[in-house]
Amino acid sequence: MRRPPLIVDGHCHLASSRCIPSEFFVGVARNMARKQFARERSGEAEKLGRVLELQYHDHDADRLVRKMDEAGIARTVLLAPDFTHVFKSQYSLEDMAAQHAAVRARHPGRFHVFFGVDPRWGRSGYDLFERVVDRHGFEGLKVYPPCGFSPSDERMFPLYEFCAARQLPVLLHTGPTTPTLDFSYADPYLIDAAAKHFPGVNFILAHGGVNFVEQAKLMCNYRANVYLDISGFPAAMSASGWQQHLADLFSQGINHKIIFGTDWPVFSMKDDLAAMVSGLLEETGPMRSLADSTVAAIMAGTIGKLLPSPSVATQASGIGPMFELEGEKP
């Protein structure tokens, strides 16, 4: 197996049911139930959803760190999307931020955090994001458009302006998700207006190597500040299998824009982190014809360049937003 000098997982989540609302699991379970039974039996999705939720009890990331060690992953970007505007949530955004900060303190040097704020929270959401960056040193913004907004919605602009000033990357979900959310905001092209307006902000299309791949590839090739990650790759819908799907992606001249990510724990039942990494790096795997320097960039180097330098990320606040902020309280 080829081993790059460093592996950084650019897309991962804390497997904690405190941070992911039940309605998210029920949606995922609805598709599972439909696969299992021709017609969904009443209450089946809710039951399966509860089983799924039981897998999400790694609140302090001890299990995740063990999995990272087995896989040879040095550091991981934890993504904390804001579902609190659309789903009844056990934890508030403040609680979620505190939990992610506690995980970082418990496992020093192992985690980066990209935190999410729904733009409909307006001023108070902006203030909260600024606070968690200042207080906890979080290093990026996670955007979840299927909650019901375009990533180029102008209500996002104050947050992007803040990210530009602090040199924080923005990672946005693309492609389908739980069916309890809205897929119409999942297209990678929806970032175009924001990416054009904020050339100083680097945008990462989460799952861009797996969903809407044609659009994601074009965005990466023609918008200098747009990147994609390959998270979710074991589930790529391709007749030739995920290995060939990725080999094709790696042959398109955009390898400087591609970031490794697992999306653990979403595929933890299907594939483990060590199996995912070795499947990528084995001699006959999808990276077989890439130069060592390209493998190193995909597996760690590119996300490393997009993360803010510590001095920028922890700079004292005082950068006021140019855009008008209105909204509710998170």
Rounded least distance, CB 304 to Zn ion, Å: 20
118 part of the interface to Zn ion, by CB under 5 A: no
Give the helix/strand (H/E) hosting 305.
helix 302-306
Rounded least distance, CB 12 to Zn ion, Å: 8
x/- letters, 147..186, toward Zn ion (CB under 5 A): ----------------------------------------
Identify the residue whose tokens are 């530009």. 164
**DSSP code per residue over 36-70:** HSSSPPTTHHHHHHHHHHHT-B-TTSHHHHHHHHH
Rounded least distance, CB 11 to Zn ion, Å: 6
Question: Which residue from 269, 196, 257 is spatially nearest to 230, judged by alpha carbons?
Answer: 257
82 part of the interface to Zn ion, by CB under 5 A: no
Rounded least distance, CB 81 to Zn ion, Å: 8
Strand, coil or helix: 328:
coil
Neighbours of 294 (CB within 10 A): 17
263 part of the interface to Zn ion, by CB under 5 A: yes
Quote the DSSP letter at residue 218.
H
Asked if 81 and 173 touch (Cβ cutoff 8 Å), the reply is: yes
Neighbours of 250 (CB within 10 A): 21
Q: Which stretch in 252-260, 261-269, 279-287, 309-317 sits in contact with Zn ion by CB under 5 A?
A: 261-269
Whichever of 58 and 263 has its CB closer to Zn ion, that residue is: 263
Q: How far apart are the first and last CA of the chain?
A: 47
Whichever of 126 and 203 has its CB closer to Zn ion, that residue is: 203
Rounded least distance, CB 13 to Zn ion, Å: 6
139 part of the interface to Zn ion, by CB under 5 A: no
Strand partners, 172: 143, 205
Rounded least distance, CB 28 to Zn ion, Å: 12
Rounded least distance, CB 118 to Zn ion, Å: 16
Rounded least distance, CB 80 to Zn ion, Å: 10
Quote the DSSP letter at residue 204.
E
Whichever of 77 and 290 has its CB closer to Zn ion, that residue is: 77
Residues binding Zn ion: what is the number (CB under 5 A)?
A: 1
Question: Which residue from 110, 111, 151, 126 is spatially nearest to 321, judged by alpha carbons?
Answer: 126
Whichever of 187 and 263 has its CB closer to Zn ion, that residue is: 263
Q: Which stretch in 148-156, 159-167, 257-265, 268-276 sits in contact with Zn ion by CB under 5 A?
A: 257-265
Whichever of 139 and 263 has its CB closer to Zn ion, that residue is: 263
Whichever of 10 and 308 has its CB closer to Zn ion, that residue is: 10
Neighbours of 19 (CB within 10 A): 25
**DSSP code per residue over 223-275:** -TTEEEE-TTGGG---TTHHHHHHHHHTTSS-GGGEE----BTTTTTT--HHH
Report which residue's Cβ sits closest to Zn ion.
263
Q: Which stretch in 101-109, 115-123, 251-259, 262-270 sits in contact with Zn ion by CB under 5 A?
A: 262-270
229 part of the interface to Zn ion, by CB under 5 A: no
Site residues (CB under 5 A) for Zn ion?
A: 263
